[in-house]
Amino acid sequence: MNADSSQLYGAVTSLWTIVAGVVLSFLVVPATVYYLLVVRTAAAPGWPSVGLAGGIAMVPGLVMGTLGLWVAARG
């Protein structure tokens, strides 16, 4: 394996990681929060749906921040 193919493989791996982070941030997390707050509005007593939804809603910021730092560190 020469140097060019190893750099290409690293770039493709980085791209898939970034795409997965964006999909998680823009599709999975909002759908989960929507389900917890709109579809499943009547929560059982003691079920922390609002707290859980708030915790899940913070995930995109963490994912995007982590990906930004990771991409910046890789150069």
Q: Is the dihedral of CA 68, 72, 74, 75 positive or negative?
A: positive
Q: How far is it, in rounded angstroms, from Cα 71 to Cα 69? A: 6
The answer on pLDDT for 72 being more than 80 is yes
Domain boundaries, the chain: 3-74
Question: Would you say 7 and 1 are in contact if contact means Cβ atoms under 8 Å apart?
Answer: no
pLDDT, tens digit, for every residue of 12-55?
667 888 888 888 888 888 888 888 777 777 666 666 767 777 78
The predicted model scores a pTM of 0.56
Matching residue, tokens 């997390």: 29
pLDDT at residue 57, as a whole number: 83
What length does the chain have? 75
